[in-house]
Copies of this chain bind each other. A is one copy, B any other.
């Protein structure tokens, strides 16, 4: 994220305590934000604010920056809890927080960071922003519940529509829909209703692209472990498409591995499944699907921005959105 935004995020978090245990706690609060996330959502929010007429240096821009800080804090507390829920090993090239400090402490750090997110929203003083954050958290939690409950119940009897519903809830709201809407609100403008459908399509494109990169991305650029989704037993469009077409024997091997806990999965078997997926047409299918969603989403977004006050900034926002949906890392 941009350095001045990181400074703003950190300004909300406590730093020093006379008690060593609390000093350590405060360092944990500051850990994930300082690991250098890309700041995708805050950049989108700021681009939307500009397109809606908020000029850098004005009070509206200051409000947008507080909301952007709130989005970054949201992202960070959710990642701490997600990493526990998925038992991820790494985050942004370092061990996940619960692997450094244990699950109980990490849950509590995430909860405290969640509350600091509301301090950022409060600082913004933007009418309607609190409701936007509530919608974002609720849709994300509902999508997360679908994801978690399918993993826990070993549910693989799912169609592409199930995956898409999960992703629209889990990823699209916090990655695209709400950042677009918050940018408008920071500029004092009621968000265009079409942002929701546009953001759902673009959010799906973004997540499918992420699923593809998780299988075939460049480990030096991609912040998470390549193949991690397979180890965590994640449902993706790629896997669901492949499962519906795979030879019986491969399918059996896959389901047998997916019925095991992460630690009990056979590394060699998972590597074999990874190769089957890479060699199948399912990655191309998912990529084509993501491209179609991106095209539809961008067209809708262009329509929704046709009357935005700053058309140069609106074009920049569209360009930024296009890059996100087709990113390489």
Question: Residues on A close to B: CB < 8 A?
Answer: 14, 19, 21-22, 24-25, 78, 81, 84-86, 101-105, 107-112, 114-115, 118-119, 122, 130-131, 133-134, 137-138, 141-142, 144-146, 148-152, 165
B111 touches A81 (CB 8 A): yes
CB distance from A279 to the nearest CB of B (A): 32
Please judge, given known A-B contacts A85-B104, A114-B111, A152-B102, whether A119 and B134 are in contact too, CB under 8 Å: yes
A21 touches B105 (CB 8 A): no
21 A-B residue pairings within 8 Å (CB atoms): A19-B146, A22-B142, A25-B145, A81-B107, A81-B108, A81-B111, A85-B103, A101-B152, A105-B148, A105-B149, A105-B152, A108-B141, A108-B144, A108-B148, A112-B141, A112-B142, A114-B114, A115-B138, A118-B118, A118-B133, A118-B134
Closest Cβ of chain B: how far from A38's Cβ, in Å? 23
List the 3 closest pairs (A to B, CB-CB), nearest first. A85-B104, A112-B141, A115-B137
Task: Report yes or no: A111 in contact with B137, Cβ–Cβ below 8 A.
Answer: yes
Q: Which residues of B contact A122 (CB under 8 A)?
A: 130-131, 134
A144 to B105, CA, bound (A): 9
Q: Please give me the residue from chain B that is nearest to A155 by CB atom.
A: B21
How many copies the complex holds: the figure is 2
Q: How far is the CA of A24 from the CA of B142 in the complex (A)?
A: 11
Given A84-B104, A104-B152, A149-B21, answer yes or no on A112-B137 (Cβ-Cβ < 8 Å).
Answer: yes
Complex Cα–Cα for A119 and B22 (A):
29
Besides A21-B149, A122-B131, A122-B134, 12 other A-B contacts (C-beta < 8 A): A19-B146, A81-B111, A84-B103, A84-B104, A84-B107, A85-B107, A104-B148, A105-B149, A115-B141, A118-B118, A118-B130, A118-B133
Known: A111-B137, A115-B134, A115-B137. A22 touches B145 (CB 8 A): yes
Structural contact, A149 and B85, CB atoms closer than 8 A: no
Cα A21 to Cα B150 with chains together (Å): 9
Residues of B close to A84: CB separation below 8 A? 103-104, 107
